[in-house]
Amino acid sequence: MGYAFTELFDIPQLTELCESFTRTNGVVTALLDLDGKVHVQSGWQDICTKFHRVNPVSSKRCTESDTALANRLAEGETYNVYQCKNGLVDIAVPIYVDNQHVANFFTGQFLFKKPDNDDFKQQANELGFELIPYIDALNQVPIFDEQKIKTIMAFLVQLAEFVGEMGKAKLDISRLRELDQQRIKDLKAKNEELEAAKKQLEKLASEDPLTGAYNRRKFGDLLTQEYYRYQRYGSPMCVAIIDVDLFKSINDSHGHEVGDSVLRCVAEHLKSGLRQSDVIARIGGDEFAVLLPESSGENIIGTFTKVSAELAALEFDGDEGPFTISCSIGVACIDHRCQSTNDIMRHADQAMYRAKNAGRNQTVLYDAEQMASTP
């Protein structure tokens, strides 16, 4: 191809994107050229950086694992999942520029199931690692289920395509630098499309794919920002947790496709019934959270009572005939008792369970004295 790796790729831009993905989803990333040189890395686990990659024996295993992953991609596989010789799981996706394999995108340093500490203790003894720091680093390694891996793979495939297009765009610019101004304008338009694709990827990294609401991690980031604003300026805010009543029975009776339509409908009604400044997120299977800046409990209770009534009036078509839903809603407002974002979330959660225990299909405002008297 005749171009240096750094000429084809915007390394600072890719680093920023990968770091954003790591902050949002807790997934490590790395971009390596075909010579094995690491150009981008984010979020690497201590067990790799402080132990496996610095010990000569385990570092050799890391290199062998990286090579095995790369060789399989060179054979034409679209991606490869591999358990490295040090016990962790890695995934690699090839990057093509102009139909030429030029790099590999890696993620990994996670586990599919709870680790066997005895195996890792034996490995620590064999390699001369200090046992307690090594096991502490092992306990920081995330465990991902099959659905999480599918989400990661979907993102990685899109990211690899995006990175390849980025390289192709830069390659085209280098080849066409001497052409007329109109061709240059066309290439700029293509770069704008790539920038839009980057923003779309960033959106995917912070959004729940089913409902279009924010995901749990993005909600936590925005809640933390608002909490800092409260600490500095005393700005009021509330948090609501909305749980769809008896949602498991909906899935069991009518199927998961119908259940998904219910969740999408709840998200849409929250968006239409609340202010544009309010932050809506899906934080669990059938659970939503809403951050309401510059709001007080009395006004919020009225708003959610109306939203709850609108949801209860809807009728859905299920496998066993039409049915309706209801939601239990807990609301908590920031005050001096909240020493962290965890406190206000816990208060809202307690209020939501009080709504469920009181018969469901209602909205409850957190009250410390009432909660203390709840059995």
pLDDT, mean of each 10-residue run, the chain (375 residues): 68 84 80 82 88 90 78 69 85 82 82 88 92 91 80 76 76 66 73 76 82 93 94 92 95 91 95 92 95 87 91 89 94 90 95 94 85 56
| Residue carrying the six token digits 């030029």 | 102
pLDDT of residue 121: 92
Residue 280, judged by CB atoms within 10 A of its CB (0-12, 13-18, 19+), counts as buried
89 to 23, 127, 133, 371: CA distances (angstroms): 20, 20, 20, 44
At 315 the pLDDT is 92
The pLDDT value recorded for residue 258 is 93
pLDDT value of position 351: 95
Q: Where are the beta strands (DSSP E) in the chain?
A: 29-33, 38-42, 80-83, 89-97, 100-110, 237-244, 279-282, 287-293, 316-318, 321-323, 327-333, 363-365
User: Three-state SS for 277?
Assistant: coil
Return the pLDDT at 370. 64
CA distances from 305 to 165, 239, 267, 277, 356 (A): 49, 15, 16, 19, 14
Alpha-carbon distance 238 to 366, whole Å? 10
Helix or strand run (H / E) with residue 304: helix 297-312
pLDDT at 221: 93
Q: What is the pTM of this model?
A: 0.50
Give me the pLDDT at residue 372, please: 57
pLDDT at residue 175, rounded to an integer: 67
What local confidence, expressed as pLDDT, does residue 73 receive? Answer: 67
Chain-centre distance for alpha carbon 346:
22
Helix, strand, coil content of the chain in percent (nearest 5): 55, 20, 25
Q: Which residue has the tokens 């969740």?
A: 263
How confident is the model at residue 19, as a pLDDT?
85
pLDDT of residue 366: 92
What per-residue confidence (pLDDT) applies to 92?
83
CA 31 from centroid of its chain's CA atoms: 19
Residue 114: helix, strand or coil by DSSP?
coil
Phi then psi for residue 262, to 5 deg, are -65, -45
Q: Contact 239/274 with Cβ under 8 angstroms? A: no
Per-residue pLDDT, 166: 76
Structure tokens at 116: 């066997």
How many whole angstroms separate alpha carbon 156 and alpha carbon 205?
Answer: 11
Please tell me the predicted confidence (pLDDT) of residue 218: 92
pLDDT recorded at residue 3: 59
